[in-house]
Amino acid sequence: MHKLSRSNRDKLQQFVAITGANEKVALQSLKASDWHLEGAFDLFYSQPQIKAFTDSRHLEELYKRYKDPHADMIMADGITNLCNDLQVDPQDIVMLVISWHMKAATMCEFSKQEFIGGLQSLGIDTLDKFRERVQYMRSELKDENKFRDIYNFAFGWALEKGQKSLALDTAIGMWQLLFAEKQWLLVDHWCQFLQARHNKAISRDTWSQLLEFARTVDPSLTNYDAEGAWPYLIDEFVEYLNENGIVQTQNQRGQVSEWRK
């Protein structure tokens, strides 16, 4: 370690503290990622040996800390307590990322398998490690592929049990949360359009296609293809924008920007 700069020594110590890896593994991960911490975390956590660095006893203790007293699950109250311990708001989008890592089937619920399996995959077995990993999980939203996976996961996660379509109010809340990360300029207009013209549950196809629309179609609609295979609801949205002069207004104000990665 004496050959490392002070900055790199600090990164090495931080990596070891968060992952529980030994210094040799930490050094390999950091060197392979050109000493970028987030890249080193990505590399490390993509490796199957991660489970060797979590203590099953500590995982059980963490689960019991939040487990519902009347069911073998972590329910809404337990998740609220978890949020308090992590010092994050229950409405923070990072809770969606955590649920994605845990492969949670339902919003506001973690089964024992989901909770422990998710923490193992993240290399977390203490609250301190959990808190330290929050910023990394938040940064995953900047990765285009991970954002797409999290976005698609959110549909099934937010579904009411037994339903195939997402309640409109729930869908709007999720879109506002997710697209705030990407700063899609049309998200508020999209939500207003749905409330005014649609007022029905949202299908999985519409959910997935909207992300593609937001990614590929400029907010000015200059590259919108009316003959493209968009769901009828998105075509109606484009008509709504044109009818109400919304696109023209945005152009005049100079507010049009590209999808921000």
CA atoms within 13 A on the CB side of 28: 8
The answer on 76 and 47 residing in a single domain is no
CA distance 249 to 211: 23
**Is residue 169 assigned to a domain?**
yes
pLDDT digits (tens, 9 = 90+) for 34-62: 898 888 888 787 765 544 456 788 999 99
The total number of residues written for the chain in this structure: 261
**Is residue 7 assigned to a domain?**
no
Pair type for strands 110-111 and 73-74: antiparallel
Q: The tokens of 126 are what?
A: 């203490």
**Is residue 217 assigned to a domain?**
yes
φ, ψ dihedrals at 196, nearest 5°: -85, -35
Tell me the pTM: 0.78
Counting the structural domains of the chain, the total is: 3
pLDDT for the residue 206: 95
With vertex at residue 223, the alpha carbon angle to CA 220 and CA 226, rounded to the nearest 5 degrees, is 105
The answer on 201 and 107 residing in a single domain is no
The answer on 200 and 97 residing in a single domain is no
The answer on 225 and 189 residing in a single domain is yes
CATH number for position 97: 1.10.238.10
CATH number for position 217: 1.10.238.200
pLDDT digits (tens, 9 = 90+) for 64-91: 999 999 999 999 999 999 999 999 999 9
Give me the domain span that covers residue 228: 145-256
The answer on 249 and 154 residing in a single domain is yes
C-alpha distances out from residue 135 to 37, 104, 142, Å:
12, 20, 12
pLDDT for the residue 253: 41
CB 22 within 8 A of CB 16: yes
